[in-house]
Amino acid sequence: MSSPAGPVGRLRSALEANRCEVHLATPAELPENLAALAASAAAGTPVAAAPGSGADGGSGAEAAVGPSVRRAIEMLAGDGVEVVTPGEPAWAARLPSAGVGITGADAAAAAEGVMALRSGPTRPRATSLVPPVHLCVVPESVVEPDFEAALARALAGGPPSALTWIGGPSRTGDLEMRTTMGVHGPLRVVVMIAVDR
Amino acid sequence: MTGRVVTPGRTFKERAEHALANAGLQAAMRNLDRRLFTAADVERTTPWLKDRAASIRRETLSDLDGWLDRAAAALEAVGAVVHRAATPADAARYVVDLALREGVREVVKSKSMATEEIDLADALRAAGVASLETDLGEYVVEVAGERPSHMVTPAIHKTIPQVADLLTAEAGRALPPDAEVLTRWVRDHLRPRFLAAEMGVTGANFVAADTGTVVLVTNEGNGRLCTTLPRIQVVLAPVDKVVPRLADVSVLLPLLTRSATGQALTNYVTMITGPRRAGELDGPEQVHVVLLDHNRRRLLGTPYEEMLACIRCGACLNVCPVYRHTSGHAYDSVYTGPMGKILTPLLSGGEEGCDLPFASTLCGACTEACPVEIPLADLLVRLRSDLRGPGPLVRPGSARRPPPPSPSAPDRLGVPAGGPGSRPRRLPGEGYPWWAGGAALPSPRRDAPYGRRRLGFAAWAALWSTPAGYRLGAAASRAGARLLGRTRWTGRRVPGSGEWTVTRDLPLPAARPFRDRWAARESGVERW
């Protein structure tokens, strides 16, 4: 696996500092580990998945992990987990019932510990927002040293209608300036970094 | 402004006295100590961000109208509808008309000072459209019927038990004074309203002129919900939010979040480029961007142009000894603290908050904290002179202070027709013509105590300006000191000095004047 001082190691510690749960998986492990994480987090509720399909604007994320994510979704469905996908007609109505939303990330900044998600036809913004748990797959190939470089990567192919940067679970400092978790966005953010080997 | 005044009092001074006597408020304000060193940490850890950001802001201001035109064109190119609003009333009318035209019943709002500036929530409600603040602090403030007291942390003036009492009344069941429980209740209470809302209103932290992208920072996720679920999104962006390039936010954004909350970046950053595109399942079908001027472009070409560089991080509030004790409501203005003291009179054309620039110790902590290097303390001093304007003691045509050149065909507020570029620089105290005639202006003509003080200082200056007057004055003060039998006057008020010696010591003259010593040395009596 990668060293703690490398980009993946720094991303991991920055995300953990932002209160994400971070896991690493090799290409061989990825589908099975992802399916297991999603099933346990969903705890019987539907899983909303937006694996994307070539709409990543050239960030390379889709090619890197798309097939593995789709394989994980097939495994979930095979295990009897209800899966909500953007293609289906009742997507908008069913999304609020989902306990987990699975997305990929198109860029990540190791120094700041943030992940970028481009919107697109099979990448609705609500998948990473409405379910209480967000499960995000970050390919090692999109990890950049800092926000400036990650922004440039995320904008390759021009800005999407929505480019969302996520650091971790929803939080606020509005009550006596103490950090309180879980306001409007996901209560848990689980990150799966897909390492090359 | 609105009727949502919380701290009673006609002037800042009266309201500040109320605030200082409010033990609950003082307890709540101690929490701001957590941000006392936030700005200093930015200087220590990422000093290069300040220089780069300051230069980007100045580059923008050097051609603000040009960047605005480019931003408007880029926004329209990506399918957004752009409305340029000259006044707050114009901006509010546009949003209300849009809501009515689209049959919107409820608007969800993400935290935005610009919407406070135009009193949007009140305007919507007056038109029969419900309006809901969704940022936790803003929601608390809205439930309390108040106005945000801090632009980053709007409910800083409340303690958790006070918030629990407010939300208990709203919930109809007892909620404990526990941040986690209160936060979860707000989440559950607001979620159905998000899912049902037809219009989302947000501000903008930045608007990129090259791509037409609106950038929003939040920690809670309400900004994301407001830009994801409703079919119409309205962005209220004051003209100073424009940045030349989207790439510039990689400098401005970390500087903003580090200065505001100490975070390397906020938990969420949302970059919206137009409405949802073909095949997309969510995101607004319509994006409307209201570019609000409200007297901002009048400041171009004046020393106050610097205020348009402000990125609304709140760093100057967090370090201000006045703000930290009085809290925001004492200012009775949308923008509070040091930047609010300057911006409120400027944006209102001298109609509102004209006593605010005087509510400062001029300690300079704000200037030091400002991440985009706005000389706040200098502007406060200048504004004090300019708000007073040329008094009756300045003779028109005198060599020391020439009269302001008469502008050709000024508008209602007296701004020259030629636009910002045609305005000549002026000395402090000459003022800029558009705030002459403000109702709240404490001018020598309208306010007798100021007139008497001005007269007193003029007489004082005349006395000490001649050698004979100087000798006389010095002799009189020595005689006075001998009469009092002391060489120091500390810790006591001097009778007849008004408030000048409440917190200041009166310096007393040396027993033997320098003139005498010099004369003795020159005549050879003394050697030194």
Q: What are phi and psi of B63, to 5 degrees?
A: -145, 55
Nearest CA in chain A to B31: A176
Distance from CA of B268 to the nearest CA of A (A): 5
Domain map (residue ranges) of chain A: 7-172+180-194
Quick: pLDDT tens for B58-106: 999 999 999 999 999 999 999 999 999 999 999 999 999 999 999 999 9
Q: How far is A185 from chain B (nearest CA, A)?
A: 5
Mean pLDDT across B264-292: 97
* Tokens describing residue B373: 């290097």
Pick the CATH number of B36-292 from 3.40.50.880, 3.40.50.10420, 3.40.190.10, 3.50.50.60: 3.40.50.10420
- Averaged pLDDT, B176-188: 97
Any chain B CB within 8 A of the CB of A158? Answer: yes
CA distance A13 to A9: 6
How buried is A156 (Cβ within 10 angstroms: 0-12 exposed, 13-18 middle, 19+ buried)?
middle
Closest-CA residue of chain B to A50: B281
pLDDT in tens, A84-115: 998 888 999 999 999 999 999 999 999 999 99
The arithmetic mean of pLDDT across residues B406-417, rounded, is 38
Task: Say if A114 is an interface residue toward chain B (CB within 8 Å).
Answer: yes
Q: For residue A122, which of B419, B1, B279, B473 has the smallest C-alpha distance?
A: B279
Contacts of A125 in chain B (CB under 8 A): 224, 227-228, 282-283
Q: Which residue ranges of chain A lie beneath pLDDT 50?
A: 53-55
Cβ of B282 under 8 Å from any chain A Cβ?
Answer: yes
Quote the CA–CA distance of B274 and B260 in Å, as a whole number: 27
Structure tokens that stand for B285 in this block: 């079908």
**pLDDT average, residue stretch B448-455:** 67
Q: pLDDT tens, B337-363? A: 999 999 999 998 878 888 999 999 999
pLDDT given for residue B315 in this prediction: 97
**B146 pLDDT above the threshold of 70:** yes
Residue B411 has pLDDT above 60, yes or no: no
Give the closest of A162, A165, A182 to B272, CB-based.
A162
**Residue-level pLDDT at A67:** 85
As a whole number, mean pLDDT of residues B475-483 equals 82
Alpha helices in B291-399 (DSSP H): 315-319, 321-326, 337-347, 365-369, 376-388
Chain A partners of B225 at a C-beta cutoff of 8 Å? 129, 184-185
pLDDT, mean of residues B266-270: 97
**Nearest alpha carbon to residue B432 among B392, B376, B386:** B386
Mean pLDDT across B303-317: 95
pLDDT of residue B407: 40
pLDDT of residue B251: 96
All residues of chain B having their beta carbon less than 8 Å from the beta carbon of residue A148 are 247, 250-251
Tell me whether residue B18 is exposed, middle or buried, using C-beta atoms within 10 angstroms of its C-beta: 0 to 12, 13 to 18, 19 or more.
middle
Q: What confidence category does residue B409 fall into, taking pLDDT thresholds of 50, 70 and 90? A: very low
- The pLDDT assigned to A66 comes to 81
Check: CB of residue B200 under 8 Å from CB of residue B110.
Answer: yes
A-chain residue closest to B155, CA distance: A174
Q: Is B275 on the interface with A (CB under 8 A)?
A: yes
- Compute the count of residue pairs across chains A and B with CB atoms less than 8 Å apart: 179
pLDDT at B430: 62
A126/B265 touch (CB, cutoff 8 Å), yes or no: no
Kindly give the pairing relationship between strand A47-50 and strand A83-84.
Answer: parallel
Q: Which of B82-96, B454-468, B503-517 has the lowest mean pLDDT?
A: B503-517
Q: Which of A111, A119, A184 sits opposite B221 (nearest CB)?
A: A184
Structure tokens at A41: 């987090």
CB–CB of A185 and B280 under 8 A?
A: no
Instruction: Compute the nearest-CA separation of A28 from chain B (Å).
Output: 31
pLDDT at B437: 39
More confident residue, A51 or B400: A51
Q: How many Cβ atoms from other residues are within 10 Å of residue B458's Cβ?
A: 14
Q: Which long-range contacts (CB under 8 A, 24 or more apart) does B91-94 make?
A: B91/B118, B91/B120, B91/B236, B91/B290, B91/B292, B91/B294, B92/B118, B92/B119, B92/B120, B92/B123, B93/B123, B94/B288, B94/B290
pLDDT of residue A184: 96
- The mean pLDDT value of chain B amounts to 87
Any CB–CB contact under 8 A between B328 and chain A? no
pLDDT at position B395: 32
Question: By the CB < 8 Å criterion, does B265 face chain A?
Answer: yes
**Residue carrying the six token digits 């996720």:** B221
Give the number of other CB atoms < 10 A from CB of residue B473: 15
Beta carbons of B268 and A163 less than 8 Å apart: no
One-letter amino acid at B484 equals L
B423: pLDDT strictly greater than 90: no
Q: Residue B464 has which token pair?
A: 């000490």
Residue B285 has pLDDT above 80, yes or no: yes
Contact A171 B267 (CB under 8 A): yes
Chain A from 2 to 61: CB within 8 A of any B CB: 14, 18
Of A159, A170, A180, the CB nearest to B221: A170
Q: Does any CB of chain A come closer than 8 Å to the CB of residue B273?
A: yes
pLDDT value for B413: 34
CB burial of residue B360 (10 Å; 0-12, 13-18, 19+): buried
Q: Chain A: residue nearest B180 by CA?
A: A180
In A, which residues are within 8 Å of B167 by CB distance? none
**Residue closest to B199 by CA, chosen among B173, B169, B236, B174:** B236
List the alpha helices (DSSP H) in B389-447.
none
Instruction: Please identify among residues 170-209 of chain B the ones whose CB lies closer than 8 Å to any CB of chain A.
Output: 179-180, 182-184, 186-187, 190-191, 194-195
Name chain B contacts of A155, Cβ cutoff 8 Å: 246
Q: pLDDT band at residue B443, thresholds of 50, 70 and 90?
A: very low
Least confident stretch, A31-45, B390-404, B461-475: B390-404
Q: What is the CATH number of domain A7-172+180-194?
A: 3.40.50.10420
Report residue B7's pLDDT band, with 50, 70 and 90 as the boundaries: confident
- Indicate whether B463 pLDDT > 50: yes
Helix axes B249-260, B38-45, angle to 10 degrees: 140
Nearest CA in chain A to B80: A161
As a whole number of angstroms, the distance between CA B357 and CA A51 comes to 55
Residue type, B388: R
Task: Let me know: does B320 contact B151? Beta carbons within 8 Å.
Answer: no
Out of A91, A129, A160, name the one closest to residue B221 (CB): A129
Q: Which of residues 453-482 of B touch A (CB under 8 A)?
A: none
Chain B hits for A171, CB-CB cut-off 8 Å, are 219-220, 267
Is B140 strand, coil or helix? Answer: helix
* CATH 3.40.50.10420 domain range(s) in chain B: 36-292
Answer whether B136 sits within 8 Å of A175, measured CB to CB: yes
